[in-house]
Structure 1
Amino acid sequence: MDFTEIYKQTAGLVAFSPGTHFILTAVQDRVVIRRSDSFQVQRTWQIGESFEAPVVQLGASQLQHKAPSRAEIANAWITHAGWSCDSEYVLTACTKIGVVEVFKLRDEAWNARIDCGAEGLAKVEWAPDGRSILCFSEWGLRVTIWSLSTGTASHIQFPIHPDRGYAFSRNGKYFILGERHKSRDTLGVYDTSQSYRLVRHFPLPSSSLASVSLSPAGNVLAVWEGPLEYKIYIVTVAGDLLGTFSPEPDRGLGIRSVAWHPSGTYLVVAGWDDKIHVLESLTWGPVAVLELQSRVPSGVNVWREPANWIDATQRHGFIPYERVRPPWTLAITRPELSKAYPKSGVVQLSFNISGSLLLARFESMLNVAHIFSFPTPQDAQSHDSSRSAPKLRSVLIHNQPVQSAAWNPVKSGAVALCCGCESMYLWRDESVVWDENSGEEVQEIAECVGIPAQNFNAKDVRWSPDGKGLVLLSKDAFCCAFEAEEDVPSEEPEH
């Protein structure tokens, strides 16, 4: 892979544009736009400059509030930043002073500002249409949707959580929000094309809503309880209860991770007990339980990161994982159950784009990533139990705890990982290849990739929308890695 230079960033605010032509970076109170092919700076804006310049003022809170002082503006760093869906606009926000600013990529002089006022600002993000902005106020007072097209605002009262508990349908037509009215959990469905007009409002069976997750088809919702109870409900967008799941016995501490299969056929649920429950969409009952085990059975590919390979290679080049012959025993860290939120359970559940593979990371085994093979909808209908049940396929063992892992958004069998050190890791589902170390044929490749930079410890990894590049982030810097293009020899003309 080809790596770029190291650039500064703050708060991890680095993002490719939806078309992958530009990359956005926030550095303290300034946002920088670069071209992704040459990394030349195209635009740069500073938050707070528009306070002394004419702008399109979208509005402010009707409550009495004190405008931010010069000192507050000078010390305000950007906390949220993002692209609109068509890459035309860039959103930046500072929750400290409660101000959102919007810039236009093709018009450097255009600027819009939202002053959230005394109600404060907890979170801000783009709506799917790319012309509306969602502002969640502090203390769960309301969510305000500002329209760049009309300059008007729509208000929805009492959202339960500013960082979760809401979803948009895949086509962006409906906005679904978990709310709390009269001490009861409720769900509101709003039509985004009609200025977020209320379509349906109904009570939820939950007593302390933790979050909601909309199915890929957009007709079913998974709603689960808070940390005191392990229970998940399946409801339609019309408010009908389809099913309820709670494992027996319920060990408490609630649900930690939930993920939908891309086809909507399965829903995987995990708590703090190192078990993954697979629910099917016909009865919403469990069809399989994937449990963390210290002993890896035969038939599973076990890959181990070589020791001291970073020093040996001076952070340059690719080094394959060492393939270990199972059965193999893994070390499990036993949690202290007497403490709140013990270090156990599943910290990540994510499907690849085709749904054929499931990545799982357990907190009691932080240096290991598990990859499960998942049946397709056709396999699920098969009478062959070996094809219709998910099973462990590969185990990736690292020298340091895995801090981030992400599937390629385009290629169905590629995952990138990082462990907070001067390297990154790639696992790819390939056609049959020959493993020289074991002398066997395998259908996957696992490689360690050194980052050719000193004192750069990758703590987070993100794919570009086209799946050809990666963003690697350290505490206060970032770099990008792109697939090296192979030189195709030109054919010599015949004489």
Structure 2
Amino acid sequence: MDFTPLVPASSIQSSACDLFVASVIFPSSLVVRSVATLGIARVISLEPNFTRNIIAMRWSPSTTGSSRILLVHSDKIVHIYDVMNQERCWTIDESESGIRHVEWSADGLDVLTWSDHHLYLSIWSLSGQGFVVPHPKAGSHSHSSRPGQPQQVAVLQREAQDQVSLASKASDGEWTIAHTFSIDTTDACGLAWSPSGKWLAVWDHPIEYRILIYTASGLLVRKYEAYDLGLGILSVVWSTDGEYLAVGSYDGRVRLLNTFTFAPTTEILHNELVRDPSIQAWREVFGATERRYDSAQAPMSLPTAKALPTELPKTGVSLLLFSPDGRHLVTRSDAMPTTLWIWSLAEMIPLALLVQLNAVKTVRWHPDESGLLVFSCQATDKTSNNSVYLWCCDWDTPRIVEIPQPDFNMQWFEVFADKHTLEAGMLFGGQGVVTMGYLVDETMTCIGTIEEAESEGEVDRQEPASLNTFNGTSSLIIHDTLPAAVRV
């Protein structure tokens, strides 16, 4: 991997079109750079008092070509800028109620703001119109834009009984509540549309294992409850092709529900003792001069998280990430935070096991390089970790790349989508600096000029007929016989 010279920056946010990155430069500047060169595209002046109170920056989505619009918000004010047109700017003032959270609508033409204490959700159109949804639930999964129909947003609301409201935008830009329906939950904490926009999954509070599948009209299609006792659902993700709904739970399992019957096809287990000799396992080791992967053979014990006496033990599967091509799934159990499991969805087998020295921090599938997984790990109190970890289904071994800056102290990274423009570029952020990295293999040389940027001053439950254990390893359970199809 080749790296560009370091560029001073902080509070970085990359655009959805992968063309720009924005950073805050104190005391009063917002700097927009080109991703391709890290050269400056525009400098926006901010009030120093506002700059000190910035909570987040968010670029508009790339679905309508409006991805050059950037918003910056504090706990009371939202400023919105068009990077390519200095004459276009907007301000949302919520000084009275305050701002807890801000997001863009899926089409990038409206801004959603949640007030303090989540008293209401406001939808602000860039054309000047506004709309209020009362009593929205809190949390990043409390709303979901419908794929294929970005003018529709499903919102969880806390009333006498949990309900979902479908907010819809008319052709004249006016928002209304198109439909509201009650849901059979105790305290719903999340919802998500399927990639086709046909199904809406709603899951209950972790104290109960319950996931419900609704149509857009509010018809309950399926209710799935894996067990009654113990903590329930921790994470829910639709596969990119819409064939599976993956549900991670506190019992350390991932249940893949097929989207024909919404019954479990497969259960993925994460055991501390791996007995299957056919699993490709790799351990990170720290040699005299560099980190590397050594092959590991079963049986092998995986390191577990050690909780302090005053803490509750960590458990459950919180990381579920499908590859863009729908062929692979990567998972991580919080009980074993240093281990990544990579699964083949076609064969329903574990492809690889990556055991790290430190807890896994950030995981991304590369959007263009098929089967390429990129991730980072946490640093320790004594040592920093500037390593980038790469695994590919076509490689014999995973790889570790060290950012060649001893004091870089890597904190985050982003992977960019347009390989024709960026040559599989990745942006890495350290302590007040950033650098671009470019993938280079044995058959390709990275060609390009990097400009060093100027410094700015720093339905009912149905049980499966039988269960089979894959390869007798207790790492995967396949539901052999599926219930009858659900008809709507």
The TM-score, its normalising length taken from structure 2, stands at 0.81
Aligned-pair distance for 1:260?
Answer: 1.0
Partner of 1:323: 295
Partner of 1:417: 375
Partner of 1:54: none
User: CA offsets, 1:271-323, max 9 Å, x none?
Assistant: 222111121223322222211112321111111223236xx15xxxxx76222
Q: Relative to 1, partners in 2 of residues 1:278 and 1:256: Cα closer, same or farther, differing over 3 Å?
A: same
Which of 431, 448, 461 aligns to 2:413? It is 461
Partner of 1:289: 267
Q: Relative to 1, partners in 2 of residues 1:336 and 1:78: Cα closer, same or farther, differing over 3 Å?
A: closer
Determine helix, strand or coil for the equivalent of 1:119. Answer: coil
Unaligned stretches of 5+ residues in structure 1: 50-71, 314-318, 376-386, 431-442, 490-495
**Following the alignment from structure 1 to structure 2, what is the Cα–Cα distance between the partners of residues 25 and 303?**
37
Are the counterparts in 1 of residues 147 and 193 from structure 2 also a CA contact under 8 Å? no
RMSD, matched Cα: 2.5
**Following the alignment from structure 2 to structure 1, what is the Cα–Cα distance between the partners of residues 32 and 5?**
16
Aligned-pair distance for 1:84?
Answer: 4.5
Are the counterparts in 2 of residues 122 and 162 from structure 1 also a CA contact under 8 Å? no
Alignment of 1:69-108 (within 5 A): 72-73=49-50, 75-85=52-62, 86-87=65-66, 89-96=68-75, 98-108=76-86
Partner of 2:478: none
Question: More deviation in 265-274 or 320-329?
Answer: 320-329
Aligned-pair distance for 1:335?
Answer: 6.0
Q: Relative to 1, partners in 2 of residues 1:14 and 1:299: Cα closer, same or farther, differing over 3 Å?
A: same
Are the counterparts in 1 of residues 303 and 338 from structure 2 also a CA contact under 8 Å? no
Determine helix, strand or coil for the equivalent of 2:286. Answer: coil
Determine helix, strand or coil for the equivalent of 1:139. Answer: helix
Partner of 1:143: 121
Alignment of 1:87-486 (within 5 A): 87=66, 89-96=68-75, 98-148=76-126, 150-161=127-138, 163-171=140-148, 172-181=150-159, 183-194=160-171, 195-252=174-231, 254-296=232-274, 297-308=276-287, 312-313=289-290, 321-333=293-305, 342-375=313-346, 387=347, 390-420=348-378, 421-430=385-394, 444-466=396-418, 468-474=424-430, 476-484=432-440, 486=444
User: CA offsets, 1:236-278, max 9 Å, x none?
Assistant: 11111111222235312x3111111222221111122211112
Q: Relative to 1, partners in 2 of residues 1:394 and 1:43: Cα closer, same or farther, differing over 3 Å?
A: same
**Following the alignment from structure 1 to structure 2, what is the Cα–Cα distance between the partners of residues 457 and 299?**
37
Are the counterparts in 2 of residues 188 and 202 from structure 1 also a CA contact under 8 Å? yes
Q: Relative to 1, partners in 2 of residues 1:250 and 1:87: Cα closer, same or farther, differing over 3 Å?
A: same
Are the counterparts in 2 of residues 419 and 459 from structure 1 also a CA contact under 8 Å? no
Partner of 2:461: none
User: CA offsets, 1:81-135, max 9 Å, x none?
Assistant: 3245225543333333x11111122223442211112111111122222221111
**Following the alignment from structure 1 to structure 2, what is the Cα–Cα distance between the partners of residues 185 and 336?**
36
2:411 counterpart letter in structure 1? K
1:459 counterpart letter in structure 2? Q
**Following the alignment from structure 1 to structure 2, what is the Cα–Cα distance between the partners of residues 475 and 160?**
35
Determine helix, strand or coil for the equivalent of 1:234. Answer: strand
Identity in percent: 23
The TM-score, its normalising length taken from structure 1, stands at 0.80
**Following the alignment from structure 2 to structure 1, what is the Cα–Cα distance between the partners of residues 445 and 414?**
26
Ranked by relative contact order (alpha carbons within 8 Å, sequence separation 6 or more), the top structure is 2
Q: Relative to 1, partners in 2 of residues 1:487 and 1:225: Cα closer, same or farther, differing over 3 Å?
A: closer
Partner of 2:29: 30
**Following the alignment from structure 1 to structure 2, what is the Cα–Cα distance between the partners of residues 270 and 162?**
18
Q: Quick check: 1:6 aligned with 2:44?
A: no
Q: Relative to 1, partners in 2 of residues 1:473 and 1:263: Cα closer, same or farther, differing over 3 Å?
A: same
Aligned-pair distance for 1:42?
Answer: 1.3
**Following the alignment from structure 1 to structure 2, what is the Cα–Cα distance between the partners of residues 245 and 88?**
38
Are the counterparts in 1 of residues 340 and 355 from structure 2 also a CA contact under 8 Å? yes
Partner of 1:382: none
**Following the alignment from structure 1 to structure 2, what is the Cα–Cα distance between the partners of residues 43 and 79?**
19
Determine helix, strand or coil for the equivalent of 1:108. Answer: coil
Q: Relative to 1, partners in 2 of residues 1:174 and 1:472: Cα closer, same or farther, differing over 3 Å?
A: same
User: CA offsets, 1:366-399, max 9 Å, x none?
Assistant: 1111101112xxxxxxxxxxx4xx2211001111
**Following the alignment from structure 1 to structure 2, what is the Cα–Cα distance between the partners of residues 360 and 146?**
37
Unaligned stretches of 5+ residues in structure 2: 379-384, 448-488
Are the counterparts in 1 of residues 273 and 302 from structure 2 also a CA contact under 8 Å? yes
Alignment of 1:33-44 (within 5 A): 33-44=32-43
Determine helix, strand or coil for the equivalent of 2:189. Answer: strand
User: CA offsets, 1:35-59, max 9 Å, x none?
Assistant: 122211111113338xxxxxxxxxx
